[in-house]
Structure 1
Amino acid sequence: MRERGRTRRLLGLGARTGGALIRTRLGGQADWRALGEALFEGLSELKGPAMKLAQIMSQWDDLLPPDLAEELARLQRQAEPMPWPRIRESLVAQYGDLDAVFREVEERPFASASMGQVHRAVTRDGEILVLKVQYPGLAEVLESDLAQVRRLMRLGRWFKVPQARLDALFEELAASLRGELDYRAEAEALARYRARYAHLENLVIPEPLPALCGERVLAMRYAPGTPLRELESGDDALRQGVAVTLADWLTEELFTHGELHADPHAGNFAVDAQGRLVIYDLGAVIPVPEPRLRAMMQLLEATLAGDPMAMDEALLRLGGRQGHGAPLALYRESAEAVSPLFAPGEQDFGDVRVHRRLRDLTPKVWAAMDRLQPPAETLLLSRTLNGHYWNLVRLGARLDMQARTRPLLEWARR
């Protein structure tokens, strides 16, 4: 009965979202603020895959209407926690007698997300740690929720996205969400990343405690920090240092290790008292095959050269642009919008003129989607890079992107 009620609510939210999209597609007006408020209230309570999808969408700051993006962004930091008695059930299932393991477990979480929430705890030995607890019953409702998400994604056909592309995108999303349910896998990713990036002195990755970890509970040493969003108006030198660390880490992730942290919303990042970047969540790490990375860099090189024909060839090599007639004018406009970020010298990611041009491109990209058709296997990668880009924007980063990308472009040519 509870599952049927959940399905009805998801269908209702999906119908409301679909109605707004269709109205705008037909030239009408939608109340994006009201829709965003309804989605926040409903998904904050329901949690699970649909909330995760909304969090993903909120990271596309240049894609959604501003009022809708602002409301969905609240899901990253203001989602209602699950009541303590339900969470306690999961902890007892993992540890048995909690008093035998912990001196204290804080009942109110200090972070709530789509798939679980985080509670501070103190062991009997006095060590402070955090427990990431998966919402009870989430594994049981996952497939049902995913079925409703698949229905919602069918709205992509209104934007001329072929069903095969929508199916491929859904399978990528579904695989990612199923993977996030296994907290043992996340514990392994934390250990791998801690060893791999130990040489980056300004990067902190919490230490997992395998003896206290299980499939539905992840135990880590407490690594306190100020959330990234709270730094937006903070000390400039601190923000620039964090931005450099973030950019260095992402570059090494991609080009040395062929992996990428795929959940870049700002709530997963913080800065500790020493000014080091803290990464909290490694539940979603995706592989980035070298051929795909080379092809994306070749697309970037063609973009920076302002060569629309080369851009089209690069997109075809990636497996996109399946329709007829290359949108050369759109390629030129895209190149003009992106190139300023890669001009010689330091570029200011806080320059609103760049964001405005990118935002203005969005409806034109959607209008040309039947010809562009980006390959489904690159959509998650593109979304993730976009999310990390906006984290640099929030930091007001000033980076010499030309100097950073020059050796990478040379690598892609080899």
Structure 2
Amino acid sequence: MRERGRTRRLLGLGARTGGTLLRSRFGGEADWRALGEALFAGLSELKGPAMKLAQIVAQWDDLLPPDLAAELARLQRQAEPMPWEGIRRTLVEQYGELDTHFREIESRPFASASMGQVHRATTHDGETLVLKVQYPGLAEVLESDLAQLRRLMRLGRWLQVPQARLDTLFEELAASLRSELDYHAEACALQRYRLRYAHHASLVIPEPLPTLSGPRVLAMRYLAGTPLRGLEEADDALRQRIATTLADWLTEELFTYGELHADPHAGNFAVDAEGRLVIYDLGAVIPVPAAHLKATLQLLDATLAADPMGMDDALRRLGGRQGQGAPLALYRESAEAVAPLFEPGPQDFSDVRVHRRLRELSPKVWAAMDRLQPPADILLLSRTLNGHYWNLVRLGARLDMHARIRPLLAWAQR
């Protein structure tokens, strides 16, 4: 990864994105598909922080221009792999002679992500493993990439995103990316989660292999699965079972153990041949203090009560608004948009009416950004829960959120 060339590519992509945003904002015709194709091609080659940010943005695909969303979504499942020569050098640095440990390592990865890619390998005993390999030189260019990314994120001010929000998002992203370079921490998280959820027959987590792992290679037993995005045509009963498992797991993760798998893009979840939810990639696990959960639930409680003054007060206590706060009418409209998901009985997450309301609200939310800013302490929590919401949408989940949320709201008031 040559730093100067990367910088030029990132700045070029930033300029193209900025030009499209400006045309859209001032009533011009924006070619979102062309922008998406350029971002996919450039970011899938460059990898690193900018690709990670694009994957985060892609989680809210129903709120983006459809052509742009379609191209960014490809970064979660079709990103161009790094050439095998560079990956092989990293493997040789870890293992020495590869033939000593493996009968075969597939040179083409079956998964390519922002920070590394995954290759299947076969041991001499015939066991299939996966090797998650960090991109060569990534640690050396990470800080330079982050500096360029901070400049690119200033484009958000053209959408009236306050600088405080951009700064907080950047710091959260930077901390997350730095932690993802620590494969030892991820191996520990995999083992902790395997032990913690061993009693769940409906979910499974890959087993790390410490003796074959190192600073830039994480070895795991192979767990095959169909990604969530591949379940659109699957049997409805299977999709509902997976949605229920995902919701149950998230609730237990947060409210029993105070942790959260904080990289919710759809490529990190799959379904195996036994119909179990497979949870991949624990490179981003964050602690979630009970105080943060209670504050978020208190905001939800005011929202479900259609109490705009209560919503404003909850945001103020969270540090999520400044000045006079948002117009009360926006609070009311937000409450009306969210309320259908929490009515008694199973609610359909794929109901297009809910998405339409959210889409219609987006310009009004952006317009109020000078009076709203993210609570720094819960930004990652909010982003992650939003990502999981869209995973439930993709599954066409029908969940009784009213029954699920009532005990948690009562807990938050204690």
TM-score category (smaller protein): over 0.9
- TM-score (normalizing by structure 2): 0.98
Q: Secondary structure at the match of 1:336?
A: helix
User: What are the superposed Cα offsets for residues 157-197 of structure 1, whole Å, 9 maximum, x if unpaired?
Assistant: 23343433322221111010000011111101100111111
User: What are the superposed Cα offsets for residues 94-125 of structure 1, whole Å, 9 maximum, x if unpaired?
Assistant: 00110001111111111111111111111122
Aligned counterparts of 2:308 and 2:169: Cα–Cα separation in 1: 26
Aligned counterparts of 2:382 and 2:218: Cα–Cα separation in 1: 28
Aligned counterparts of 1:172 and 1:227: Cα–Cα separation in 2: 26
Indicate conservation of the 8 Å contact 2:266/2:391, yes or no: yes
Aligned counterparts of 1:167 and 1:121: Cα–Cα separation in 2: 41
**Identical columns (%):** 83
Q: Does residue 163 of structure 2 align to residue 163 of structure 1?
A: yes
Where does residue 53 of structure 2 map in the other structure? 53
Where does residue 406 of structure 1 map in the other structure? 406
Q: Structure 2: which amino acid aligns with 1:163?
A: Q
Aligned counterparts of 1:385 and 1:52: Cα–Cα separation in 2: 17
Aligned counterparts of 1:83 and 1:214: Cα–Cα separation in 2: 21
Aligned counterparts of 2:100 and 2:59: Cα–Cα separation in 1: 41
Map residues 84-163 of structure 1 onto 2, 5 A cutoff: 84-163=84-163
Q: Does residue 16 of structure 2 align to residue 24 of structure 1?
A: no
Q: Structure 2: which amino acid aligns with 1:40?
A: F
User: What are the superposed Cα offsets for residues 291-345 of structure 1, whole Å, 9 maximum, x if unpaired?
Assistant: 1110100000111010000000111111111122442101100000000000010
User: What are the superposed Cα offsets for residues 61-112 of structure 1, whole Å, 9 maximum, x if unpaired?
Assistant: 2432221111100001111111111110010000011000111111111111
Where does residue 337 of structure 2 map in the other structure? 337
Map residues 224-303 of structure 1 onto 2, 5 A cutoff: 224-303=224-303
Q: Structure 2: which amino acid aligns with 1:86?
A: G
1:351 positional shift: 1.0
Indicate conservation of the 8 Å contact 1:260/1:287, yes or no: yes
Unaligned runs of 5+ residues in structure 1 are: none
Aligned counterparts of 2:165 and 2:358: Cα–Cα separation in 1: 24
Aligned counterparts of 2:26 and 2:386: Cα–Cα separation in 1: 28
Q: Structure 1: which amino acid aligns with 2:99?
A: D
Indicate conservation of the 8 Å contact 1:60/1:387, yes or no: yes
1:18 positional shift: 1.5
Where does residue 381 of structure 2 map in the other structure? 381
Q: Secondary structure at the match of 1:372?
A: coil
Q: Does residue 351 of structure 2 align to residue 351 of structure 1?
A: yes
Indicate conservation of the 8 Å contact 2:121/2:128, yes or no: yes
Aligned counterparts of 2:337 and 2:134: Cα–Cα separation in 1: 41
Q: Does residue 317 of structure 2 align to residue 317 of structure 1?
A: yes
Q: Structure 2: which amino acid aligns with 1:14?
A: G
Q: Structure 1: which amino acid aligns with 2:103?
A: R
Where does residue 215 of structure 1 map in the other structure? 215
Aligned counterparts of 2:396 and 2:73: Cα–Cα separation in 1: 19
User: What are the superposed Cα offsets for residues 262-299 of structure 1, whole Å, 9 maximum, x if unpaired?
Assistant: 11111111101110000111111112111111010000
Unaligned runs of 5+ residues in structure 2 are: none
Instruction: Give the 3 Å change call, closer, same or farther, for CA 153–376 of structure 1 in structure 2.
Output: farther
Aligned counterparts of 2:100 and 2:219: Cα–Cα separation in 1: 16
Indicate conservation of the 8 Å contact 2:162/2:369, yes or no: no
Aligned counterparts of 1:125 and 1:148: Cα–Cα separation in 2: 46
Indicate conservation of the 8 Å contact 1:130/1:219, yes or no: yes
Q: Secondary structure at the match of 2:61?
A: coil
User: What are the superposed Cα offsets for residues 218-255 of structure 1, whole Å, 9 maximum, x if unpaired?
Assistant: 00001111111111111011111101100000001111
Aligned counterparts of 1:214 and 1:183: Cα–Cα separation in 2: 7
Aligned counterparts of 1:284 and 1:261: Cα–Cα separation in 2: 6
Q: Secondary structure at the match of 2:260?
A: strand
Aligned counterparts of 1:102 and 1:109: Cα–Cα separation in 2: 16
Indicate conservation of the 8 Å contact 2:61/2:73, yes or no: no
1:353 positional shift: 0.9
Map residues 190-205 of structure 1 onto 2, 5 A cutoff: 190-205=190-205
Where does residue 35 of structure 1 map in the other structure? 35
Aligned counterparts of 2:166 and 2:350: Cα–Cα separation in 1: 33
Count of residues paired in the alignment: 414
Map residues 171-190 of structure 1 onto 2, 5 A cutoff: 171-190=171-190
Q: Structure 2: which amino acid aligns with 1:283?
A: G
| Larger deviation, residues 131-140 vs 167-176 | 167-176
Indicate conservation of the 8 Å contact 1:62/1:362, yes or no: no
Q: Structure 2: which amino acid aligns with 1:206?
A: P
Indicate conservation of the 8 Å contact 1:232/1:394, yes or no: yes
User: What are the superposed Cα offsets for residues 337-382 of structure 1, whole Å, 9 maximum, x if unpaired?
Assistant: 0000000100011111111111111111111111121223322221
Q: Structure 1: which amino acid aligns with 2:95?
A: Y
1:156 positional shift: 2.5
Aligned counterparts of 1:360 and 1:161: Cα–Cα separation in 2: 18
Root-mean-square deviation over aligned CA pairs: 1.2
Q: Secondary structure at the match of 1:370?
A: coil
Aligned counterparts of 1:14 and 1:376: Cα–Cα separation in 2: 25
- TM-score (normalizing by structure 1): 0.98
Where does residue 77 of structure 2 map in the other structure? 77
Aligned counterparts of 1:121 and 1:386: Cα–Cα separation in 2: 35
Aligned counterparts of 1:326 and 1:263: Cα–Cα separation in 2: 29
Indicate conservation of the 8 Å contact 1:323/1:373, yes or no: no
Q: Structure 1: which amino acid aligns with 2:278?
A: V
Q: Structure 1: which amino acid aligns with 2:243?
A: A
Indicate conservation of the 8 Å contact 1:172/1:377, yes or no: no
Indicate conservation of the 8 Å contact 1:48/1:145, yes or no: yes
